[in-house]
Chain A
Amino acid sequence: MTQPFYVSPEQVMKDRADFARKGIARGRSVVVLCCRDGIALVAENPSPSLHKIGEIYDKIAFAAVGKYNEFESLRQAGVRYADVRGYSYDRVDVTGRGLASVYAQSLGAVFTAEQKPLEVELTVAEVGHDVGSDHLFRLTFDGSIADERRFVVMGGAAERVAEAVIGGWSAEASFAEAIQLAAKALRDERTDPTLSLEVAVLDRKSETGRGLRRAFRRISQDELTELLTGPI
Chain B
Amino acid sequence: MNDFLAERVVGNATSSFTEHLAAVRPDLLPSNRVVPSDASHLSPHGTTVVAMSFAGGVLMAGDRRATMGSMIASRHIEKVFPADQYSVLGIAGAAGLAVDIVRLFQVELEHYEKIEGTLLSLEGKATRLGAMIRANLSLALQGLAVVPLFAGFDLYQGVGRLFSYDVTGGRYEELEHHSVGSGSVFARGALKKLWRPGLAEADAVRVSVEALFDAADDDSATGGPDPLRQLWPVVYTVTRVGNRRASENELAQIAGDIFEQRSIAGREA
Please list the residues of chain A having a beta carbon within 8 angstroms of any beta carbon in chain B. 49, 51, 54-56, 76, 79-80, 83-84, 86-88, 214
| 85-133 of chain B: CB within 8 A of chain A | 103-104, 107, 110-111, 114-115, 117
Pick 16 A–B contacts, CB within 8 A, sort by A: A49-B117, A54-B117, A56-B114, A79-B111, A83-B20, A83-B107, A83-B111, A84-B21, A84-B24, A84-B25, A86-B107, A87-B21, A87-B28, A87-B103, A88-B25, A88-B28
Contact A80 B103 (CB under 8 A): no
Contact B104 A87 (CB under 8 A): yes
Contact A83 B117 (CB under 8 A): no
By a CB distance below 8 angstroms, the chain B residues around A49 are: 117
The 9 closest A-B pairs by CB, nearest first: A79-B114, A83-B111, A87-B107, A55-B114, A83-B107, A88-B28, A80-B20, A83-B17, A76-B115
- Selected contact of A84 from candidates B20, B114, B115, B117, CB within 8 Å: B20
By a CB distance below 8 angstroms, the chain A residues around B104 are: 87
**Chain A, Cβ-Cβ closest to B104:** A87
By a CB distance below 8 angstroms, the chain B residues around A56 are: 114
Q: How far is the CA of A135 from the CA of B159 in the complex (A)?
A: 42
Residues 41-54 of B, flagged 1 when their CB comes within 8 A of A and 0 if not, give 00000000000000
Contact B28 A54 (CB under 8 A): no
Q: How far is the CA of A49 from the CA of B13 in the complex (A)?
A: 18
Q: How far is the CA of A51 from the CA of B115 in the complex (A)?
A: 11
Of listed B25, B114, B117, residue having the most chain A CB within 10 A? B114
By a CB distance below 8 angstroms, the chain A residues around B103 are: 87
By a CB distance below 8 angstroms, the chain A residues around B114 are: 54-56, 79, 83
| 213-247 of chain B: CB within 8 A of chain A | none
By a CB distance below 8 angstroms, the chain A residues around B13 are: 76
B94 to chain A, nearest CB (A): 19
Contact A51 B28 (CB under 8 A): no
Contact B110 A83 (CB under 8 A): yes
B184 to chain A, nearest CB (A): 30
By a CB distance below 8 angstroms, the chain A residues around B21 are: 84, 87
Residues 7-50 of B, flagged 1 when their CB comes within 8 A of A and 0 if not, give 00000010001001100110010000000000000000000000
B112 to chain A, nearest CB (A): 10
By a CB distance below 8 angstroms, the chain A residues around B110 are: 83, 214
With contacts A84-B20, A86-B107 known, is A79 near B115, CB below 8 A?
yes
B19 to chain A, nearest CB (A): 11
By a CB distance below 8 angstroms, the chain A residues around B115 are: 76, 79
With contacts A83-B17, A84-B25 known, is A51 near B117, CB below 8 A?
yes
**Chain A, Cβ-Cβ closest to B100:** A87
B107 to chain A, nearest CB (A): 5
Q: How far is the CA of A54 from the CA of B118 in the complex (A)?
A: 12
B169 to chain A, nearest CB (A): 21
A192 to chain B, nearest CB (A): 27
Q: How far is the CA of A83 from the CA of B114 in the complex (A)?
A: 10
B44 to chain A, nearest CB (A): 22
**Chain B, Cβ-Cβ closest to A82:** B114
**Chain B, Cβ-Cβ closest to A50:** B117
Residues 122-164 of B, flagged 1 when their CB comes within 8 A of A and 0 if not, give 0000000000000000000000000000000000000000000
A54 to chain B, nearest CB (A): 7
Q: How far is the CA of A80 from the CA of B114 in the complex (A)?
A: 10
Q: How far is the CA of A86 from the CA of B106 in the complex (A)?
A: 12
Q: How far is the CA of A87 from the CA of B105 in the complex (A)?
A: 11
Q: How far is the CA of A105 from the CA of B20 in the complex (A)?
A: 21
A38 to chain B, nearest CB (A): 18
**Chain A, Cβ-Cβ closest to B118:** A49
Q: How far is the CA of A76 from the CA of B116 in the complex (A)?
A: 9
By a CB distance below 8 angstroms, the chain B residues around A83 are: 17, 20, 107, 110-111, 114
| 155-213 of chain B: CB within 8 A of chain A | none
**Chain A, Cβ-Cβ closest to B17:** A83
Q: How far is the CA of A17 from the CA of B25 in the complex (A)?
A: 35
By a CB distance below 8 angstroms, the chain A residues around B28 are: 84, 87-88
By a CB distance below 8 angstroms, the chain B residues around A51 are: 117
**Chain A, Cβ-Cβ closest to B106:** A87
By a CB distance below 8 angstroms, the chain B residues around A55 are: 114
By a CB distance below 8 angstroms, the chain B residues around A80 are: 17, 20, 111
Q: How far is the CA of A168 from the CA of B95 in the complex (A)?
A: 55
Q: How far is the CA of A49 from the CA of B117 in the complex (A)?
A: 9
Q: How far is the CA of A149 from the CA of B27 in the complex (A)?
A: 40
